[in-house]
Homo-oligomer: A and B are copies of this chain.
Amino acid sequence: MIKPLNDNVLLKIATVETKTASGIILNVSDKEEENIGVVIAVGDGKIVEGKRVLPTVKENDKVIFDKYAAIEFEYLNEKYLIVPETGILAVIE
């Protein structure tokens, strides 16, 4: 298990979704989005005035992130990204 430290968030890149003419959303592609990830795990949060402040995103959230703030790595043949919470820009609900 990969456990992010502090305000770091562990992501996996999401696969590309496409909307059909009739409006249905499909995962039709193995292509990877560059800026959209799924949260795998979050750290305990940054220390602000002596207390841990938990990240506002949580496991399984689909998020937009700043790829220039992300560190990429591979572990057991899987690709991951680690992004500090400030690099998580939006949540897709």
The chain A residues found within 8 Å of chain B, CB to CB, are: 1-5, 8, 10, 17-19, 25, 33-36, 43, 56-57, 64, 66-67, 71-77, 82, 88-93
Q: How far is the CA of A16 from the CA of B43 in the complex (A)?
A: 25
Which of B2, B18, B33 interacts with A64 by CB under 8 Å?
B2
Counted per complex, copies of this chain come to: 7
Taking CB atoms, residues of chain B closer than 8 Å to A73 are: 33-36, 64
- Please name 6 further chain A to chain B contacts, defined as beta carbons within 8 Å, in addition to the given A3-B92, A66-B71, sorted by A numbering: A3-B90, A5-B57, A8-B89, A17-B75, A33-B73, A75-B92
Taking CB atoms, residues of chain B closer than 8 Å to A82 are: 64, 89-90
CB-nearest residue of chain B to A25 = B76
Taking CB atoms, residues of chain B closer than 8 Å to A3 are: 90-93
